[in-house]
A and B are shown apart, each in its own frame.
Chain A
Amino acid sequence: MLPILSLTLATLLIGTVATFFAGPRAKYVAAAVSGVFLAEIAAMFLMFSWPGIGVGPTHFAESETYAWIHVAWLHVNYTVGIDGISLILILLTGILQAVTVAYSWNETRQPGAWFGLVLLTCLGCFGVFVALDVLLFFVFWEVVLVPMFFLIGYWGGPRRRYAALKFFIYTHVASVTMLVALLVTAFYSHSPSLDFAGLQGSAATLAVPTQVILFLSLFFGFGVKFPIVPFHTWLPDAHVEAPTGGSVLLAGLLLKLGAYGLIRWGLEILPNGIAHAAPVLYAVAFASIVWGAGVSLAQRDLKRLVAYSSINHMGIVLLAIALDTSLGLLAAVLLMFAHGIVSALLFMVSGSVHHTFGSRDLASVNGITPTAPTLSTMTMAGALASLGLPALISFPAEFTALLATWDKLGYWVLIPLFTLVVTAAFYIWMMQRLLFGPPKGIPADAHDLPYAEAVAMGVLVILTVVYGILPNLLVHWITLSPVAGLP
């Protein structure tokens, strides 16, 4: 069988190195790598659905294992594999890598390094989604940090060094906690190896209080990436200072790493942990939902608004995961995908607004539609999708999430439901001011979107509509997943 996952890793690795050294031609190399990556993802979809290949109740489809470090007490393997959840997130990785490359087509500052770091971030995310060994997972997890640190620290806004360092500190401390918790799980339960399968088999032998403590440590480790209230403060800073491409990857992919990690290494390894710790997760999720929506209302900076609404959306993802039901997991993965596409679109919008009109301040830039009709259309599509309009991608995801919450928690569903109204309020208010008000603060030389940016955003808008009308394109793959607990 074709080792498609290792092949993809190799492609991305070679592509990244080539891009670094390609100098001014880096964008063509990066585009080619993105194309190959998408083709390989298509191959993964094909092989995944091919009859008779690995889709069983207990096994990962497409899994590969090679011994890496083997001594008597430590078995570390190079093990990669995908199931439906990782497949959908890999698809998201491929899409966002391609549109980020397209959006930053005209990058002139150190293009080799820029595109190389973008590819390296996506390589790390892909690795996180396929790694099925604690050490391998941690290696990729850390690989993501370094390029993002440089993307923010070199191409970012005026307070970029502060933001980059804050991002690094928060996430690094969290990953260290996560690693300790995973190692404790492995060694205290005498797991035969550091593989996912080994951990999953042995973790159940731990005493339940230990499992709960470990699960909560993992929750902290992954939660900072989500981000959860009260460890969310790195996110608005990082987003506001990050360059647009960095924000797209940050919101679209990096936040998903936390959620994916919580599902794969928390939920599936320590089912007893989540069963007992769920109230903590609910509380944190509700706090994030309410806090994110409430603070968004008060924002004047478009990018900050989108950043805080990410906290709100990821709070719903956390809620859906915490439900620990099959419907909840399905909703969580759908939401992750939807948020990845929509937040990427909205961050591109705020980036374009910023460099077209010189400001993202909603009080000083108004009525842009006559000047920039395309940008205005994209803004509207993004905002409508984000507030959950039916037939756009977020609707099926949020609807499933609310349904799952109702099933498990009953009237608590009113909390996320109410914040959806708040979300709708601030997005409509934003559109009213930015798009339709009397023109104000429009520079004389303002123009509509450049071609590259329009293409990138256009692709995302199309995906928003397609997956919004046909959510089964996603649901089918997620439910094919052999992950225990999915229907």
Chain B
Amino acid sequence: MTAIPWTVFVPELFLLGAALLIFLLDSVGFRWLEVFGGLATGGIVLALLAVLADLRFAPLAAFATVPANVVDAPWSQLGGSLVAVTSFGLVFQAIFLTSALLVSLSSLSRPTKEKGAAIFFGLLLFATLGMTLAALSADLIFLLLSIEITGISTYLLVGYTRRDPRGLEAAMKFYIIGALSAALSFFGASLLYAAYGTTSLYALGTTVVYLGHPPLDGATSIALLGYAFLIVGIGFKVTAVPFQAWAVDVYDGAPSDVSAFLAGGSKKVGLFGYFLVFLVPILFAGRLATAPPACPVGLCVTLHPDFGVPLQVIFGVMAIVTMTVGNVLALQQSEMKRMLAYSSISQAGYMLIGLAVATSPAIAGALLQIFAHVFMKAGAFLVVGAVAGLGIGSKIEDWKGVGLRYPYLGLSFAVMLLSLAGVPLTVGFVSKFVLFSAAVQAQGWFVWLAVAGLLNSALSVFYYARVLRVMYMERPEPRSAALPSGAVLGGSEPPLLALGGIGYGRAIAIGIAVVAIFAFGVYPQVVLSTFQNAANHLLQAL
């Protein structure tokens, strides 16, 4: 048995400390947005550095807080431990913290006297805390509780301004759906406990596979029902079709920074949950299964009686449906944020390919896709927030000429959209290339997942290209060019290089995203090898 030292919680302690400090200052009447933002950003940066140290990145490895033998220890020796440290989880923590960092940096540029700054940053930290905790879990209840910490914090984040009725409506919708999703997940967990008397993910996953051969006994059928509830419950968090309907209204109604966090962060925690809950049964079924018969270029689907293969088919179909529905609906949107929300749904479909294929290359590809999505989608929502702050409407039509009038924002947005569309030399291209290559490499029917993904990314080019055309090829109407008098930047002339106009924090966050998109797009070797190691170790540990 591997003992888990308390030091695995060092990143979480940084986040918790910063959050408590913010609430303490707020309660004694201290209201200074920059300090709150600075505290939050500082806490997140420290947590991120701690995670990177645990991932053993060269200059930081000396500060690693988790002993090397604990990381990626085999799960069969965990005993009843609630937590396990995997490099896979650490990578997810790094991704969560990166998206939180972008959002908190950008939120430094909020109006200084805004009410509720402490609430905003505190909740952001708590949501991040829930996500990083989830990434440590080895137990179903621990996982679901951590996801709920994130959930409750994000329901509040969506509606925290209390001024915008659309934000309140979105928060209410988010809350109700979130409660439903949690109820379904916990009910599924209770069914699993009833069937096998444990909530350990490893024990559950292996048991259901060993007992899952037909004919079904009573316990296994209850367990299968439990897994079905989990697919639905966590599916809401992932925004997988058909559980996606809430996401568009919520992303649209929430403040843009929060939308960035939801798309970049909290959705990924659901994906992590999917991976953690369902990888064990899939892998064990794969190890039990005999070698599939030869099959020319994946023209046939081989089904095994084991539980794992139907799971892969479920996730494969879910992936294809999610990416297609997201893309087709995105084509029809006239609101910028709704378009981005649907595009975010379709990206979730790509990520699910990793779970359906469930080989270490595919998991690495999915990680890369999740990582890329932080910069592309969170960055895009941040730009939308900045543009809204300049007094430009929320419809795509209102963005006429934005690319020419605000070169920095326009160019950044163009880069993010091109990356989402998967144009070469951006991280979005590399992630799709690796993910689809991994699906092809797995052979069999997985090739069709790659084909579906490629056709979808070809389809998605159209709605991204349309935005580019509006931004660069059409002239603004005189009315929409006027800035409202009380706008954030105060001045009346739109600055040519609109850095100062959107605030330095926001400009820096957007800049980081753009640089990351290009840097990891041209030279993905560092992150890809890290992700590949994480995936390999995960498969060995399980």
Contacts and interface: CB of A to CB of B under 8 A. Distances in A.
Interface of A: 67-74, 135, 138-139, 142-143, 146, 153-154, 168, 172-173, 176, 179-180, 183-184, 187-188, 207, 209-210, 213-214
A139 B461 contact: no
Contacts of A146: 423
A102 B424 CA distance: 30
B387 to A, nearest CB: 23
Interface string B404-438: 00000000000000000001110000100110111
B528 interface: yes
Given A172-B458, A172-B461, A179-B454, A69 B424 contact: no
B366 to A, nearest CB: 14
B148 to A, nearest CB: 35
B473 interface: yes
Given A70-B525, A139-B425, A187 B441 contact: yes
B440 A183 contact: yes
B525 A69 contact: yes
B465 to A, nearest CB: 8
Tell me the interface secondary structure of chain B in the complex. helix
Given A69-B525, A73-B441, A180 B454 contact: yes
Nearest to B455: A176
A184 B524 contact: no
Contact of A154 (B297, B451, B473): B473
Chain A to chain B: the 6 pairs with minimum beta-carbon distance, closest first: A139-B424, A187-B441, A71-B532, A183-B440, A176-B454, A73-B361
Contacts, number: 74
Contacts of A173: 455, 458
Contact of B296 (A70, A187, A210): A210
19 contacts: A69-B524, A71-B361, A71-B364, A72-B532, A73-B441, A138-B424, A142-B423, A142-B424, A146-B423, A173-B455, A173-B458, A176-B455, A180-B447, A180-B454, A183-B436, A187-B441, A188-B440, A207-B296, A209-B296
Interface residues of B, number: 34
Contacts of B438: 73-74
Contacts of A139: 424-425
A213 B473 contact: no
A52 to B, nearest CB: 35
Nearest to A73: B361
A224 to B, nearest CB: 13
A172 to B, nearest CB: 5
Interface of B: 296-297, 360-361, 364, 423-425, 430, 433-434, 436-438, 440-441, 443, 447, 450-451, 454-455, 457-458, 461, 465, 473, 523-525, 528-529, 532, 536
A70 B297 CA distance: 25
B440 A187 contact: yes
B450 A143 contact: no
B458 A176 contact: yes
Contact of A210 (B297, B423, B441, B523): B297
A426 B210 CA distance: 76
Residue of A69, A210, A213 with most chain B CB atoms under a 10 A cut-off: A69
B241 to A, nearest CB: 22
B437 A183 contact: yes
Contacts of B458: 172-173, 176
Contact of A213 (B296, B361, B424, B441): B296
A44 B41 CA distance: 54
Contacts of A188: 297, 440, 443
Contacts of A209: 296
A68 B364 CA distance: 17
Nearest to A135: B433
Given A69-B525, A72-B532, A180-B454, A213 B440 contact: no
A71 B455 CA distance: 26
B295 to A, nearest CB: 11
Given A172-B458, A180-B451, A183-B450, A74 B424 contact: no
B335 to A, nearest CB: 23
Residue of A74, A135, A207 with most chain B CB atoms under a 10 A cut-off: A74
Contacts of B528: 69, 71
Contact of A187 (B423, B434, B437, B524): B437
A41 B364 CA distance: 41
B292 to A, nearest CB: 14
A71 B360 CA distance: 11
A154 B297 CA distance: 42
B431 to A, nearest CB: 12
Given A176-B454, A176-B458, 6 more contacts: A69-B528, A71-B529, A142-B423, A176-B457, A180-B447, A213-B296
